[in-house]
Amino acid sequence: MIQGNVRSCEAMEHAIRVSGLQKRFGSVVALDGVDFSVPTGTVLGLLGPNGAGKTTAVRILTTILGHDGGQAEVLGLDVSREPQAVRERIGLAGQYAAVDENLTGHENLKLVGLLSHLAPKSIPARADELLERFDLVDAADRPARTYSGGMRRRLDLAAALVHRPPVLFLDEPTTGLDPQGRTGLWRVIEELVADGTTLLLTTQYLEEADRLADNIVVIDHGHVIAEGTSTQLKARLGATIVEIELADAACAERARAVLSPLGIVEVQPDGHSVELKANDGARVAIDVVRALDHEQLEPVALALREPTLDDVFLELTGHGAEEPATEDATADGRRRRTRGAA
Amino acid sequence: MTSTALAPTLSVDRPQRSALGWAVADTRTIAWRNLVTLRRLPQLLVFATVQPVIFVLMFRYVFGGAIHITNFPYVDYLMPGVFAQTVAFGAIQTGIGLAEDLHKGLIERFRSLPMARSAVLAGRTLADLVRNVFVVMLMLAIGYLVGFRIHTNLLGLIAGMAVMLLFGFSLTWIFAIIGLSTSNAETAQAASFPILAPLVFASSAFVPVSSMPGWLQAFAKNQPVSIAIDAVRSLVLGGQFANTGKVLLSLAWSFGIIAVFAPLAVRRYRRAA
């Protein structure tokens, strides 16, 4: 029976499909009709601030949580109708490194292997292979309580892979890691994806989504507010951003007036810098310099940059990506969850 | 089984077993995991006996002289009460362990695995039963050192310990629910103590119920901790304590508690977040 399912799954175009997904916690709406799908073998970055509904979506797709409306399918299997079949095919590494601190690295992998119903005799070899791959061989026989944060995350990720799941869910895999640990984990994730694993990744770090994800879905307050590739999302803002620092606020105000025909110009919070978003690439720099020169405005500093996903996020949501979640009433009267769990 | 590193297909070798067969295997796996912890942190066993040992010394040498039991040395009356105290307060550990698993995200991982839903609880309570066997044996040895003697026979002792361990096992299911409802160890501990304290102290554990005021006697005589203690006294002391009815009643309480609270705990586990 399992074999039959697999055949049809392999031909599947979308490994994950979510439509009209709804979830309420009491009066709090965590997901309000979310749609997205992940083509097999690709990486989807689910992006949003704390409380946006990212983790709720992951928990529904991994059968941990039921949903109130809409549909969620993994490899063509409905998560609420066939949770057991879904669980056999997915791996999950959550927000906290969910490893047993008193077990060694090797024992942790054995635990997950046994509970994933692998043949017991196949588990030790698989555990060794993963420990090797995640650079944990030296620590394999030490209790996980002696591991650093980065090592725990790697062990947690290894545990999610013991049963070779074709679909992997990573819920904020690098939150709380130092930059070194983060880039290390990114490299591992990139290797996994190269092997053909379908990955759904939630993150608050735009840089992470930018680096790892083929497609990005931005959710906020339980709604999808944008989707596309990172390039597409950035293009929504205009191709180029010119940052010009001037001597004082009066000059900045004059510069704003002079530059406004070239694109969207805003005076920055510091009062003496302006930022211009324009569509015609690096060429705009020449126009900027000419216009400023014509008005005899001398920039203190002038820089040209590509928009980051942070810019996109600010534009889409009206707030930054790492805004701390608060229990505030939003304009349409819905309340956001305070904890990161949403 | 293929050897390609992390192939996207479902190429794993899964043995075929019935749902019940898997439930048993998963329970064994979880029990193994919890017993490894116990072996690695033997101080957990030591901590579990600190409080009862203090009580043994206090009641044996400080208060005991003022409490008179007809025909029996007080220490013989005392020890069955201490066994009950040990397993009852030990049951809090079940809740604490589950609250920690919940807090650290382990339960979340278990729920995403194809394992039996009942195994996390069954494995935990079984491991705690094994722990109780060690702790009760340790208390028995300490009791022996301070003069405790059985008045029946070895069979009576074994039966008495079995009745007490079964009672302790039934309590772990109650505290499993508390642990799953609190999500951190400190709260689980704080919530459990007020439930247990009246049951353990307003019982026949340390003093005869007949010495209590009338209104308290009705409760103290009929509550399950007293009944378990009286059952153990019946089995290890005999004489005026012999009372087969209490033994049967205690077994009924234990099985009754399991029948009610085990399904509730599993339901709570399914929903715990």
Is the predicted pLDDT of residue A335 greater than 70, yes or no?
Answer: no
CB contact under 8 A, A164 and B14: no
More confident residue, A183 or A124: A124
- Pairing of β A167-171 and β A301-305: unpaired
Q: Among the listed ranges A57-66, A277-286, B103-112, B138-147, which one has the minimum average pLDDT value?
A: A277-286
Q: Is residue B11 part of a domain?
A: no
What is the mean predicted confidence (pLDDT) over B105-129? 92
Q: Measured between CB atoms, which of A94, A98, A195 is closest to B6?
A: A195
In whole numbers, what is the pLDDT of chain A averaged over residues? 83
Q: What is the separation of C-alpha B43 from the centre of its chain, rounded to a whole number of angstroms?
A: 18
Q: Using CA atoms, how far apart are residues A201 and A208, in angstroms rounded to an integer?
A: 9
Q: Using CA atoms, how far apart are residues A45 and B152, in angstroms rounded to an integer?
A: 70
Q: Among the listed ranges A71-75, B45-49, B137-141, B166-170, which one has the minimum average pLDDT value?
A: B45-49
Is the predicted pLDDT of residue B120 greater than 90, yes or no?
Answer: yes
Is the predicted pLDDT of residue B26 greater than 50, yes or no?
Answer: yes
Please choose, from the candidates A249, A251, A250, A256, the residue with its C-alpha nearest in 3D space to the C-alpha of residue A270: A249
Residue-range definition of the domain harbouring residue B106: 19-271
Which pLDDT belongs to residue B10?
A: 53
Q: Is residue B14 part of a domain?
A: no
Q: How far is B94 from chain A (nearest CA, A)?
A: 16
Let me know: does A299 contact A313? Beta carbons within 8 Å: no
Task: Give the phi and the psi of residue A186 in degrees, each rounded to 5.
Answer: -60, -40
Which pLDDT belongs to residue B132?
A: 92
Q: What is the pLDDT of residues A192-223, one digit of tens each?
A: 888 889 999 998 888 888 889 999 999 988 98
Which pLDDT belongs to residue A308?
A: 74
Which pLDDT belongs to residue A320?
A: 57
Which pLDDT belongs to residue A333?
A: 33
Is the predicted pLDDT of residue A95 greater than 80, yes or no?
Answer: no
What is the mean predicted confidence (pLDDT) over B44-71? 86
Contact residues, chain B, for A2 at CB < 8 Å: 10, 14
Is the predicted pLDDT of residue A340 greater than 50, yes or no?
Answer: no
Q: How far is A239 from chain B (nearest CA, A)?
A: 37
> How many residues are listed for chain A in this entry?
342
Is the predicted pLDDT of residue A9 greater than 50, yes or no?
Answer: no
Q: How far is B129 from chain A (nearest CA, A)?
A: 19
Which pLDDT belongs to residue A319?
A: 64
The encoded tokens of residue A52 equal: 């946006």
CB contact under 8 A, B25 and A114: yes
Contact residues, chain B, for A143 at CB < 8 Å: 40
Q: Is residue B56 part of a domain?
A: yes
Cα dihedral value A82, A85, A86, A91, nearest 10:
160
Q: What percent of chain B has pLDDT over 90?
A: 62
Is the predicted pLDDT of residue A127 greater than 60, yes or no?
Answer: yes
B211 touching A (Cβ < 8 Å) = no
Which pLDDT belongs to residue B154?
A: 94
DSSP-assigned states of every residue in B185-248: HHHHHHHHHHHHHHHHHSSSSSS-GGGS-HHHHHHHHHSHHHHHHHHHHHHHT-GGG--HHHHH
Which pLDDT belongs to residue A277?
A: 82
CB contact under 8 A, A98 and B108: yes
Q: In CATH, what is the architecture of A2-234?
A: 3-Layer(aba) Sandwich (3.40)
Please choose, from the candidates B13, B11, B269, B235, the residue with its C-alpha nearest in 3D space to the C-alpha of residue B125: B269
Contact residues, chain A, for B273 at CB < 8 Å: 64-65, 341
At B155, is the pLDDT very low, low, confident or very high (cuts 50, 70, 90)? very high
CB contact under 8 A, A103 and B112: no
Let me know: does A201 contact A172? Beta carbons within 8 Å: no
For A238-306, CATH number?
3.30.70.270
CB contact under 8 A, B115 and A115: yes
At B121, is the pLDDT very low, low, confident or very high (cuts 50, 70, 90)? very high
More confident residue, A330 or A252: A252
**How far, in Å, are A123, A158, B76, B80 from residue B149 at the CA level?**
50, 54, 6, 11
Q: Measured between CB atoms, which of A62, A133, A164 is closest to B11?
A: A164
Q: Is residue B162 part of a domain?
A: yes
In whole numbers, what is the pLDDT of chain B averaged over residues? 89
Contact residues, chain B, for A163 at CB < 8 Å: 12
What is the mean predicted confidence (pLDDT) over A147-171? 91
Q: Say how many CB pairs under 8 Å bridge A and B.
A: 117
Q: Using CA atoms, how far apart are residues B256 and A58, in angstroms rounded to an integer?
A: 39
Please choose, from the candidates B79, B87, B82, B163, the residue with its C-alpha nearest in 3D space to the C-alpha of residue B125: B87
Which pLDDT belongs to residue B227?
A: 96
Q: Using CA atoms, how far apart are residues A216 and B190, in angstroms rounded to an integer?
A: 45
Q: What is the pLDDT of residues B211-232, one digit of tens each?
A: 899 899 999 999 999 999 999 9
Same fold, A2-234 and A238-306: no
Q: Which residue ranges make up each domain of chain A?
A: 2-234, 238-306
Which pLDDT belongs to residue A17?
A: 94
Report the number of distinct structural domains present in chain B: 1
Please choose, from the candidates B172, B32, B46, the residue with its C-alpha nearest in 3D space to the C-alpha of residue B97: B172
What is the mean predicted confidence (pLDDT) over A119-147? 93
CB contact under 8 A, B108 and A94: yes
For A112-163, the three-class secondary structure string (H helix, E strand, C coil) is HHHHCCCCHHHHHHHHHHHHHHCCCHHHCCCEHHHCCHHHHHHHHHHHHHCC
B111 touching A (Cβ < 8 Å) = yes
Which pLDDT belongs to residue B11?
A: 55
Q: Is residue B6 part of a domain?
A: no
Q: Strand, coil or helix: what is A27?
A: coil
Q: How many C-beta atoms lie closer than 10 Å to residue B164's C-beta?
A: 26
**A-chain residue closest to B270, CA distance:** A64
Q: Is residue B13 part of a domain?
A: no
**How far, in Å, are A70, B19, B248 from residue A86 at the CA level?**
17, 16, 46
B106 touching A (Cβ < 8 Å) = yes
Contact residues, chain A, for B120 at CB < 8 Å: none
The encoded tokens of residue A241 equal: 């951003």
Q: What is the pLDDT of residues B257-272, one digit of tens each?
A: 999 999 999 999 887 6
Is the predicted pLDDT of residue A38 greater than 70, yes or no?
Answer: yes
What is the mean predicted confidence (pLDDT) over A233-248? 80
Q: What is the pLDDT of residues B60-86, one digit of tens each?
A: 898 888 888 888 899 999 999 999 999
Q: Using CA atoms, how far apart are residues A138 and A148, in angstroms rounded to an integer?
A: 13
Which pLDDT belongs to residue A336?
A: 34
- Which residues lie closer than 8 Å to A286 by C-beta, 6 or more apart? none
Q: How far is A322 from chain B (nearest CA, A)?
A: 23
B118 touching A (Cβ < 8 Å) = no
Cα dihedral value A202, A207, A209, A212, nearest 10:
-120
Element (H, E) at A315: helix A309-317
At A238, is the pLDDT very low, low, confident or very high (cuts 50, 70, 90)? low
More confident residue, B2 or A206: A206
Q: How far is A3 from chain B (nearest CA, A)?
A: 9
Which pLDDT belongs to residue A181?
A: 80
Q: Using CA atoms, how far apart are residues A252 and B47, in angstroms rounded to an integer?
A: 69
CB contact under 8 A, A164 and B104: no
Which pLDDT belongs to residue A4?
A: 42
Is the predicted pLDDT of residue A75 greater than 90, yes or no?
Answer: yes
